[in-house]
Amino acid sequence: MTKFRAFVELARPTNMLLVFAAVVFGAALALPPGSCPMSGWGEALGPLIAAAFALSLVAAGGYALNDRMDLAIDRINRPERPLPAGHLSPRAAVVFCVCAWAAAVGLTFFGPPSGYFIVPFCILLSAVYAMRLKHTGLAGNLAVALMTSLALAYGATAAGGLGRVLPLAALAFLVNLSREIFKDVEDLPGDAEAGARTLAVRLGEGPTRLIGASVAFAVTPALTLFYFFDRLAWVDVLAVALGMALPLLVIGAHGLTRAGKAGKVQRWLKASMFCGLATLLLGRTIYWLAVSGFLG
């Protein structure tokens, strides 16, 4: 493996793309239902792209630091990754992390003003997570879920509609919290051998799967409450129910009843969040076409 390819793998390009997409989704969904999903993006496009790249680089640096701190565990759980496989040195991972985070801070000056808080906060939380929180149980899971939901919020600030996106960010928080809990189950062998104190190590696989599934199931009542208190329009509720809530019921049930499937479940949970956001954007687009008369 070449050094370049090793650095690319260290940065998790697929996850970076998902973070980038979450920021863009946040901006698109910040507009009220019935509006063109891309209306008003003219002046906001530059800051939005800067914000999306900034958070993507924060994520890349965080992945590199995680791999450095988890080297012993990854020799058991993820031996194919660049550091345990010997393709990169631990020092190279730290240098990459510092460079990625420095570039992210630089990009905040071209993004929306909220980035002056969100980007440094995510960098700090990523560092604390990698060095302290990751293997201490629920606190680490909550930290990752919070950073994911902040990506939607950051994009929304670029379009000036944070209030409309906060309920969706809360739903994304629940989905990612469930995913992180199932990841703990997936990583149980290496975490237990390394002495980590994750939920799965402390409680065992069965109770942890129950907690992860319960969090996934919680999306449906949360969605209902947001609609009941007029925080989400009916078109948004319908789209999220079809694209996220219903699949989550199936995924959660699968994770609860099938031992040894945590890796598959956590990947499905990641896909479900972006499927829900894509369905929501599609629903908004169809609704805009309908109210604008384009559908007759």
For residue 261, give the 3-state DSSP assignment. Answer: coil
Q: How many CA atoms lie within 13 A of 208 on its CB side?
A: 28
Q: Rounded distance, CA 218 to CA 82, Å?
A: 37
Instruction: Give the type of residue at 174.
Output: L
Q: Rounded distance, CA 248 to CA 198, Å?
A: 23
Per-residue pLDDT at 40:
61
pLDDT of 296 over the 60 cut = no
Residue spans of the domains in the chain: they are: 3-291
CA 68 to chain centre: 21
Per-residue pLDDT at 198:
86
**pLDDT, tens only, 266-287:** 899 888 888 988 898 888 888 8
**pLDDT, tens only, 169-204:** 999 999 999 999 999 898 888 788 877 788 888 999
Per-residue pLDDT at 281:
87
**The CATH classification of domain 3-291, taken from the options 3.40.50, 1.10.600, 1.10.540, 2.40.50:** 1.10.600
Residue (of 46, 42, 31) closest to 111 by Cα position: 46
Asked whether 10 and 93 are in contact (CB, 8 A), the reply is yes
Q: How confident is the model at residue 151 (pLDDT cuts 50, 70, 90)?
A: very high
Lowest mean pLDDT among 119-128, 132-141, 166-175, 202-211: 132-141
Mean pLDDT value of segment 233-257: 86
Q: How confident is the model at residue 249 (pLDDT cuts 50, 70, 90)?
A: confident
**pLDDT, tens only, 3-25:** 899 999 999 999 999 899 999 99
Percent of the chain with pLDDT over 90: 49
**pLDDT, tens only, 86-119:** 999 999 999 999 999 999 999 999 999 999 999 9
Instruction: Give the type of residue at 167.
Output: P
Q: How many CA atoms lie within 13 A of 293 on its CB side?
A: 0
- The crossing angle, in degrees rounded to 10, of helices 246-257 and 205-217 is 170
Q: Average pLDDT, whole number, for the chain?
A: 89
Asked whether 128 and 143 are in contact (CB, 8 A), the reply is yes
List, in order, residues 6 or more apart from 136 with CB less than 8 Å away: 197, 198
**How many C-beta atoms lie closer than 10 Å to residue 80's C-beta?**
9
Per-residue pLDDT at 62:
96
Per-residue pLDDT at 295:
67
**How many C-beta atoms lie closer than 10 Å to residue 159's C-beta?**
26
pLDDT of 253 over the 60 cut = yes
Which tokens hold the place of 45?
Answer: 């496009």
Q: Rounded distance, CA 277 to CA 213, Å?
A: 20
Per-residue pLDDT at 1:
66
The pTM of the full predicted model, rounded to 2 decimals, is 0.90
Asked whether 68 and 83 are in contact (CB, 8 A), the reply is yes
Mean pLDDT value of segment 68-77: 87
Burial class (CB within 10 angstroms; exposed 0-12, middle 13-18, buried 19+) of 94: middle
Asked whether 48 and 24 are in contact (CB, 8 A), the reply is yes
Residue (of 198, 184, 63, 46) closest to 123 by Cα position: 63
Q: Rounded distance, CA 19 to CA 149, Å?
A: 10
